[in-house]
Amino acid sequence: MSRWRTRRIIAGAAVLVVAGCGESRSASPPARPADTAVASRAVPPAGPAADIPTVVFLGTSLTAGLGLDPDSAYPALVQRKIDSAGLHYRVVNAGESGESSAGALHRIDWILREPPAVMVIETGANDGLRGQDPDSIRANIHGIIERVRTRSPRTRILLAGMEAMPNLGKDYVRRFRAIYPAVARADSLPLIQFLLAGVAGVDSLNQQDGIHPNEAGARIVATTVWRSLAPLLR
């Protein structure tokens, strides 16, 4: 499993906090002009497209595609894989830069106004950067899953695992890493072990902040997601 590089942990974390990892401040993305592009992707369109089952990606700036053209973010690349496979699903990018797991829990009811066929949950990275309590993060993720299952019982869920930066100490890294497999086991979910596997810490696959994937990195992330998502769609 790929690991974050220690040599740029502090600088990278600082850049990520400034560039898009502040607390999410609204349950409804349209409330903030700066998030208009993200919000528009999170609202299912009216008309014929609304009849196509959706795959919603709930996530942070990693999912929103911070620093990338929207068509280069990994959810858009997954859409191309879906189309190439001859499957009829429409991807909705509900990524929110700066969002914590608590923010995602607060926002999930808004996202579920149009129940998806599949929801991919990517959250917790910003909590890890801030050293939030792993037990609280796990509780928030479990709360999101419960909300989805209550409001949309037929929605299939795929959980994406994340890693904490090693400058937070071995014990924190271990506890953080354990969140995702523990939730997947408890809630009987398929798990992507690490969303950024093969990308994290690789200069050529990340933007200047050393954390957000560039176009080449996003292609690898899309492939990682596709391996776990494809069986749910088929």
147: three-class secondary structure by DSSP: helix
Residues with Cβ within 8 Å of residue 96, at least 6 apart in sequence: 24, 29, 35, 38, 59, 60, 61, 64, 103, 104, 107
Residue pair 191/228 in contact (Cβ under 8 Å)? The answer is yes
d(CA 138, CA 121) in angstroms, rounded, equals: 13
**Could you give the residue numbers annotated as active site?**
61, 209, 212
Q: Are 161 and 228 in contact (CB under 8 A)?
A: no
Structure token digits, residue 28: 């409804």
C-alpha to C-alpha distances, 81 to 70, 99, 203, 225, 228, nearest whole angstrom: 16, 27, 26, 11, 13
Distance CA 19, CA 38 (A): 15
68 Cβ contact partners less than 8 Å away, ≥ 6 residues apart: 212, 213, 214, 215, 218
Residue 44: C-alpha distances to residues 71, 86, 219 (Å): 17, 21, 24
CA atoms of 75 and 55, how far apart (whole Å): 9
